[in-house]
Amino acid sequence: MGKTSEKQRQDRQAGDGSRILVIDDEEIIHDSLKRILGRQGHQVDAAFAAPEALELIASQTYDLVITDLMMPEINGIQLMEQMRAKGHDVPVLMITGYPTIRTALQALRLGAVDYLSKPFTRQELLGPVNRTLRRGTAAASAEKAPAAAEGAAEPALSPGDRFYLRKHSWAIYQQDGTISMGIEASFLDTVDKVASLEAPGESDLIEQGFVGFRLKTESGESHNVFVPLSGQVLEVNQAALDDPSSIGADTWLLRVRPANLETELPLLLRS
């Protein structure tokens, strides 16, 4: 048990909704998420600590796990490590009241589909939940980016080299040493037609693993896209912002002067 087949996921999503496990040591969080997700037709189970959650994941079939980062005994990162070690490929959405770049990237490297900072709104929750359930691919959730070594040297770079912050964004190294950035295909494939896009402005500073783009779709969903690298924005693709419905997986949105390639590139997938 614990490994969900694609057919099982599709059968439930086409019928009575998906089954979601919420892990948090606060009852108010459980009540809130059960109310929001229950109204979407999902079945929501509760666990108040990671050991209890691991038992449920081993014996039940879930489409999504939503877990707090800070928990007694075993935190959210350790929970994900144990899930992967046991072969449980359920997608995970991390929530935290104490976001840091290190924990955010740790979660994404371990296969988290997204992370949310507390407090969050109903729309901020439903965006990544719906995106994950549409994706519904166990193999994609099990994909891992390489772990970064401390003090890792900057890889040799050539113009056109492409890097990914998994399921969120991409970065391409340019001849002049700048970086162009856009939204990953696997992200765009799981959202409705984009109605509006917010992006940083010229001269703004952006930080790896934090929100860089905010999308709203024609169906009213809100989605946040994390940027792959830190740096200063040199140019914004205004044509894409003016016509967000035209944005595709190859559309560049920002050109950036990178700040920390030596330490940040090893945290990304490379193609």
Q: How confident is the model at residue 104 (pLDDT cuts 50, 70, 90)?
A: confident
Nearest to 77 by CA among 98, 62, 55, 56: 98
> Would you say residue 260 lies in a domain?
yes
Number of domains in the chain: 2
When computed from its CA atoms, the radius of gyration of the chain, rounded to whole angstroms, is 18
DSSP β-ladder status, 162-165 and 222-226: unpaired
Instruction: For the beta carbon of residue 195, count every other beta carbon within 10 angstroms.
Output: 14
Q: Are residues 252 and 182 part of one domain?
A: yes
Q: Model confidence over 190-205: pLDDT tens digits?
A: 998 999 999 999 999 9
Tokens 């391409």: give the residue.
172
CATH number of the domain to which 249 belongs: 2.40.50.100
Residue with tokens 């944005």: 247
Identify whether residues 195 and 116 lie together within a single domain.
Answer: no
Whether residue 151 is contained in a domain is answered as no
Rounded Cα distance between 198 and 144, Å, is 28
Q: Is-contact 63 91, C-beta < 8 A?
A: yes
Q: Is residue 170 part of a domain?
A: yes
212 with 104, same domain: the answer is no
How is residue 245 written in tokens?
């419905």
Burial class (CB in 10 A: 0-12, 13-18, 19+), 236: middle
Nearest alpha carbon to residue 22 among 92, 72, 119: 92
- For residue 76, give the CATH number of its domain: 3.40.50.2300
CA distance linking residue 163 with residue 87, whole number of Å: 27
Give pTM, 2 decimals. Answer: 0.77
| 11 and 101 both lie in a single domain | yes
Task: For residue 26, tell me if it sits in a domain.
Answer: yes
Q: What are phi and psi of 131, to 5 degrees?
A: -60, -40
**Which two three-digit tokens encode residue 46?**
């509760």
Q: How confident is the model at residue 71 (pLDDT cuts 50, 70, 90)?
A: confident
- The upper half-sphere exposure of residue 97, i.e. CA atoms within 13 Å in the direction of its Cβ, equals 7
Choose between 107 and 2: higher pLDDT.
Answer: 107
Q: Which of 142, 176, 199 is the last residue of a domain?
A: 142
**Confidence (pLDDT) at 200:** 97
Beta strand pairing call for 211-217 and 222-226: antiparallel
| 3-class SS of residue 65 | strand
Mean pLDDT of the chain: 85
Question: Same domain, yes or no, for 180 and 106?
Answer: no
Q: Is residue 92 part of a domain?
A: yes
Mark which of 99, 114, 142 sits at the end of a domain. 142
136-182, pLDDT tens digit by residue? 643 343 444 444 444 445 568 999 999 999 889 999 999 999 999 99
127 with 223, same domain?
no
Pair (76, 174) in one structural domain: no
Mean pLDDT of 203-227: 92
Q: Residue 266: is the preceding peptide bond cis (ω within 30°)?
A: no
Three-state DSSP at 51 gives helix
Residues 132 and 167 in one domain: no
CA distance 110 to 96: 16
Determine, yes or no, domain membership for 150. no
Model confidence pLDDT, tens digit, residues 244-260: 999 999 999 999 999 98
pLDDT surpasses 50 at 7: no
With 60 as the cut, is the pLDDT of residue 106 above it? yes
**CA dist 23 to 74, 77, 216, Å?**
11, 12, 28
Q: Is residue 49 part of a domain?
A: yes
Identify whether residues 66 and 167 lie together within a single domain. Answer: no
Place of tokens 């402005």: 201
Q: Are residues 188 and 242 in the same domain?
A: yes
Name the least confident of 12-21, 78-87, 236-245.
12-21
- Domain identity same for 172 and 81: no
* Residues 225 and 135 grouped into a single domain: no
Quote the domain boundaries for residue 92.
6-142
Q: Is residue 1 domain-resident?
A: no
